[in-house]
């Protein structure tokens, strides 16, 4: 099983990288761009057998280490692999 | 004063701290290796030094949080032991939850290495008690992830409890947007826990505490701790 995890800044936390890319896109003529939020994408390979178990364990991994919940939020999807 | 200095893989200010405490201030100083738990009962102070523990991978301080020595330090801090985190050490204390808030990338997105001024917001702590007559210190900073963040509700709690120890300021001690080098909320450069026995700061007092250099404002922090022990 593969956990595809996205970690991004919470609303209200300054994201200087996102801001810079936002301005760069506007400079390139993409005036429709309203906001850019840059985060992290992680792929975690698991040998879990049940999706329920993986769901609990991955949530725990995110809260413990992969995201700092003071400033970041996370979401993930579990994808079956061969 | 009996001090311990933690060495993580990637710490690079550990020797500076050791030099100041042992050679300059003649204090009993020991190394604490990250891979081992330690009995800290007889210690007065533990320092988490600056550097790039575990290469700053994932987030600065996030991996160091789970080193065996941190179990001993969390126990030591809970029992009232004094812990000082400098720069990366501050980041580790925040990741552990021993201090509130978080540090994110500087607003300018640049690594900043220069001398700044900080105003002592609370001179009534073990870390600042010798600063009562000298409320503005000139101390160097050197960091990329030093912009302090805390939500507005927790910020007012910090203010109420006197947990804000340092704010970036100008030479006269005036705190303003211009004197804030990295975009920190409230120009915060250092905070303590509620009990004031754990303190983290982005500026490096160990880099301005040897009388061979023209500036020794950093000594006041270490002298405060010595007076307090």
Q: Can you tell me the ipTM of this complex?
A: 0.86
Supply the CATH number for residue B64's domain: 3.40.50.880
H/E stretch holding B82 reads strand B82-86
Q: Which residue has the tokens 């579990």?
A: A78
Query: How many CB pairs below 8 Å do chains A and B form together?
Result: 35
When CB atoms are compared, the residue of A14, A65, A70 closest to B183 is: A14
Residue A24 touches chain B, beta carbons under 8 Å: no
Q: Which has the closest alpha carbon to A69: A17, A13, A2?
A: A13
Class of residue B74 by CB neighbours under 10 A (exposed 0-12, middle 13-18, buried 19+): middle
When CB atoms are compared, the residue of B106, B109, B149 closest to A20 is: B109
As a whole number of Å, the CA-based R_g of chain A is 16
Residue-wise pLDDT for B8-56, tens only, equals 999 999 999 999 999 999 999 999 999 999 999 999 999 999 999 999 9
Distance in angstroms (rounded) separating the CA atoms of residues B10 and B49: 10
Distance in angstroms (rounded) separating the CA atoms of residues B136 and B121: 10
Angle at A68 between CA B113 and CA B86, to 5 degrees: 35
Please answer whether residues B210 and B24 qualify as being in contact, where contact means their C-beta atoms are separated by less than 8 angstroms. Answer: yes
- If you measure CA to CA, which chain B residue comes closest to A68? B95
**pLDDT value at position B134?**
83
| A68 chain-B contacts, CB cut-off 8 A | 59, 62, 95, 102
What is the least distance, in Å, from the CA of A67 to any CA of chain B?
Answer: 9
A12: its two tokens: 């209200």
pLDDT higher than 90, residue B79? yes
Residue-wise pLDDT for B135-194, tens only, equals 999 999 999 999 999 999 999 999 999 999 999 999 999 999 999 999 999 999 999 999
Please answer whether residues B100 and B58 qualify as being in contact, where contact means their C-beta atoms are separated by less than 8 angstroms. Answer: no
Residue A66 touches chain B, beta carbons under 8 Å: yes
Distance in angstroms (rounded) separating the CA atoms of residues A34 and A26: 9
Residue B72 belongs to what domain range? 2-228
What are the structural domains of chain A? Answer: 2-79 (3.30.1280.10)
**pLDDT value at position A24?**
96
**pLDDT value at position B27?**
98
What is the least distance, in Å, from the CA of B102 to any CA of chain A?
Answer: 7
Residue-wise pLDDT for A21-79, tens only, equals 999 999 999 999 999 999 999 999 999 879 999 999 999 999 999 999 999 999 999 99
What is the least distance, in Å, from the CA of A16 to any CA of chain B?
Answer: 6
Other Cβ atoms within 10 Å of A53 Cβ, number: 12
Number of domains in chain B: 1
């Amino acid at each position: 099983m593969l956990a595809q995890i996205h970690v991004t800044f919470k609303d209200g936390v300054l994201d200087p990288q996102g801001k810079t890319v936002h301005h760069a896109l506007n400079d390139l003529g993409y005036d429709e761009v309203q906001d850019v939020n840059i985060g992290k994408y992680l792929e975690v390979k698991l040998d879990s057998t049940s999706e329920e178990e993986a769901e609990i364990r991955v949530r725990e991994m995110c809260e413990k280490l992969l995201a700092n919940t003071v400033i970041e939020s996370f979401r993930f999807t579990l994808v079956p692999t061969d | 004063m009996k001090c311990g200095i933690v060495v993580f893989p990637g710490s690079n200010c550990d020797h500076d701290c050791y030099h100041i405490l042992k050679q300059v201030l003649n204090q009993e100083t020991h190394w604490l290796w990250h891979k081992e738990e330690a009995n800290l009962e007889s210690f007065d102070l533990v320092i988490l030094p600056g550097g790039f523990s575990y290469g700053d991978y994932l987030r600065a301080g996030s991996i160091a949080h789970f080193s065996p020595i941190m179990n001993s330090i969390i126990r030591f801090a809970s029992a009232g032991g004094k812990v000082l985190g400098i720069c990366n050490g501050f980041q580790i204390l925040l990741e552990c939850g021993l201090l509130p808030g978080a540090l994110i990338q500087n607003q300018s997105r640049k690594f900043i290495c220069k001398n700044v001024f900080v105003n002592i917001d609370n001179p009534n702590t073990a870390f600042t008690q010798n600063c009562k007559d000298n409320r503005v210190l000139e101390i160097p900073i050197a960091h990329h992830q030093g912009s302090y963040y805390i939500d507005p509700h927790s910020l007012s709690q910090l203010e109420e409890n006197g947990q804000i120890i340092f704010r970036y300021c100008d030479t006269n001690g005036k705190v303003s947007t211009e004197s804030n080098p990295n975009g920190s909320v409230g120009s915060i450069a250092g905070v303590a826990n509620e009990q004031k026995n754990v303190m983290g700061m982005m500026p490096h007092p160990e880099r301005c505490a040897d009388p061979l250099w023209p500036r020794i404002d950093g000594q006041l922090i270490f002298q405060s701790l010595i007076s307090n022990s």
